[in-house]
Amino acid sequence: MQVNVPDLSDKAVRKALKTHSMWQEYNSRCIFCGACTVACSTCTCFTTRDVIYGDNPEVGERRRVTASCQIAGFDQMAGQREFRSTAADRMRYKILHKFHDYKACFGEEHMCVGCGRCTQRCPQLISISATVNKLSQAVEEIRAQLAQQ
Ligand code: SF4
Ligand code: SF4
């Protein structure tokens, strides 16, 4: 499959993408298991978990464990506030991070290296290649709409 990675340098395009209908399909497909990010070659998010030993409650350890932006509660803050409360929101965040934000912040290349591990691991058969091509299509639509304004 050929993957068409869109140019997202236009802020107006990115703003319109936030509310584009393309993300809605993931509300009925993604089960927010996080398997895609655990398998990902370039995802590095983690959290910490305190483990207290049963034989001596005075002793324990703080472990670094994998976290995932695709799992509910990842961005939960005080007062139970969540920035991305639906699978659609979380998928949009992941895809735009992989194909815009990371490169805009850190360098020359996109974060995604195209290994396809996330696609292989997803129990819902959600393909990163197909998602990026849908993103490209959405960007084309948005550009056409903006040109008419
Ligand atoms: S294709 Fe991209 S998003 Fe998927 S596992 Fe590889 S680096 Fe991660
Ligand atoms: S592996 Fe598939 S179903 Fe699970 S969080 Fe990732 S995209 Fe959603």
pTM: 0.92
Is 131 among the domain residues? yes
Q: Is residue 58 part of a domain?
A: no
Which atom of ligand 1 lies at the shortest distance from residue 113's CA?
7
> In this structure, is residue 78 part of a structural domain?
no
Average pLDDT over residues 106-129: 96
Answer yes or no: is the C-beta of 120 below 6 A from any ligand 1 atom.
no
Whether residue 105 lies inside any domain: the answer is yes
3-state SS assignment for residue 44: coil
Domain that holds residue 139: 11-41+84-148
Residue of the CA atom closest to atom 4 of ligand 2: 33
What one-character DSSP code corresponds to residue 20? -
Evaluate whether residue 19 is within a structural domain.
yes
> What average pLDDT is seen over the chain?
95
- Residue 113 within a domain: yes
Instruction: Note the pLDDT of residue 107.
Output: 84
Q: What is the pLDDT of residue 11?
A: 97
Number of domains in the chain: 1
124 within ligand 2 shell (Cβ under 6 A): yes
Mean pLDDT of 45-57: 91
* Ligand nearest to the CA of residue 27, numbered in listed order: 2
Residue 99 falls inside a structural domain: yes
**Start-end of H helices in the chain:** 11-18, 25-29, 35-39, 87-96, 102-106, 117-121, 128-148
Is 103 part of a structural domain of the chain?
yes
For 71-94, what is each residue's pLDDT tens digit? Answer: 999 999 999 899 999 999 999 999
